[in-house]
Amino acid sequence: GDSVTQMEGPVTLSEEAFLTINCTYTATGYPSLFWYVQYPGEGLQLLLKATKADDKGSNKGFEATYRKETTSFHLEKGSVQVSDSAVYFCALSRGLIGDYKLSFGAGTTVTVRA
Amino acid sequence: DVKVTQSSRYLVKRTGEKVFLECVQDMDHENMFWYRQDPGLGLRLIYFSYDVKMKEKGDIPEGYSVSREKKERFSLILESASTNQTSMYLCASSLGSQGRLYEQYFGPGTRLTVT
- Burial-class residue B45 by CB neighbours within 10 Å (0-12, 13-18, 19+): buried
A2: closest CA of chain B, how far (Å): 13
pLDDT at A14 > cutoff 90: yes
Instruction: Give yes or no for B94 touching A (CB within 8 A).
Output: yes
Alpha carbon distance B89, B86 (integer Å): 9
Rounded mean pLDDT of chain A?
93
CA A62 → CA A11, A46, B68, B105, distances in Å?
16, 12, 37, 19
Output the pLDDT for position B100.
Answer: 54
Alpha carbon distance A24, B84 (integer Å): 30
Q: Express each pLDDT in A38-92 by its tens digit.
A: 999 889 999 999 988 999 999 999 999 999 999 999 999 999 999 999 999 999 9
CA A68 → CA A58, A111, B40, B102, distances in Å?
18, 29, 27, 19
**Terminal-residue alpha carbon distance, chain A:** 41
Who contacts B54 (Cβ-Cβ below 8 Å, separation ≥6)?
B68
Instruction: Give the residue from A32, A59, A100, A109 with the most B CB atoms within 10 Å of its CB, the best one to mutate.
Output: A100
- A residues 38-77 near B, CB within 8 Å? 41-46, 49
Beta bridge partners of A44: A38
Q: Rounded to 5 degrees, what angle do the CA atoms B61, B67, B19 make?
A: 70
Subunit contact A45:B106, Cβ cutoff 8 A: yes
Which strand (E) or helix (H) includes residue B9? Answer: none
Rounded mean pLDDT of chain B?
92
Who contacts A1 (Cβ-Cβ below 8 Å, separation ≥6)?
A103
Q: Express each pLDDT in B69-98 by its tens digit.
A: 999 999 999 999 999 999 999 999 998 765
Instruction: Out of A34, A43, A107, name the one closest to residue B109 (CB).
Output: A43
Chain A residue with minimal CA distance to B41?
Answer: A106
- B residues 25-54 near A, CB within 8 Å? 31, 33, 40-43, 45, 48, 50
Q: What residues in A contact B106, CB-CB < 8 Å?
A: 36, 43-45
Subunit contact B107:A43, Cβ cutoff 8 A: yes
What's the average model confidence in pLDDT over A26-32? 86
Instruction: Give yes or no for B66 touching A (CB within 8 A).
Output: no
Percent of chain B whose predicted confidence (pLDDT) is above 90: 78
Q: What residues in B contact A49, CB-CB < 8 Å?
A: 103
Lowest mean pLDDT among A32-36, A42-46, A96-100, B69-73: A96-100
CB-CB contact of A79 with A61 (8 Å): yes
